[in-house]
Structure 1
């Protein structure tokens, strides 16, 4: 199974559109900044169509449940629409992407 990751040249553009890590009002251990891994995991699941729970741990995308939760959070925050708009602007008409946002 191959894994496609967001390239280093594209990541800064996408990272700027993602919300900062949320801090729990209940305290606890700070979350690791796993936004790149989560986004790669989300794209992998959407591209392959596998269930979230079947995201292979050896792919280093984090757990499928974490990726699923980030997708819901980011959709609620309007991130998906911003990422899509940024990718359209960057593609300059070339919409033959290996994944759909």
Structure 2
């Protein structure tokens, strides 16, 4: 069931637009630690939270990612301008016409969450 929801939240076409816009991960100088969680899984979980309006802490465990990781990555990507770049890509027509309204709704929700966190 989660795969069906994930593919509806972030279609392959949308992911093809988003993936190159995601900033590269910072190199951990100390090495070791856990491997970085898949960007697509994180992005899908973020889209779920943004589109559903649920609190971060209510993110279903079935997404396979932890709430702190998703929230931390949302903050990281916000600080690095992902949502601004995605909005620009959508305005330039990178997203298909079927997805333009969806991505605008997600971006508006991202702006509201980021502004709320900043205040």
Same fold (TM over 0.5): yes
- In the alignment, structure 2 segments of 5+ residues that lack a partner are 108-119
Please say if 1:96 is aligned against 2:101: yes
Partner of 2:78: 75
Name whichever structure is richer in helix by fraction.
2
Structure 2 residue 19 is matched with structure 1 residue 15: yes
Q: Report the alpha carbon displacement of residue 45 of structure 1 after superposing the two structures with TM.
A: 0.4
- The aligned residue for residue 38 of structure 1 is 42
Question: Which 5+ residue runs of structure 1 have no aligned equivalent?
Answer: none
TM-score in terms of structure 2 length: 0.69
Deviation at 1:11, TM superposition (A): 1.4
SS of match in other structure, 1:96 = helix
Partners of 1:18 and 1:79 within 8 A in 2: yes
Number of residue-to-residue matches in the alignment: 100
Normalised by the size of structure 1, how large is the TM-score? 0.79
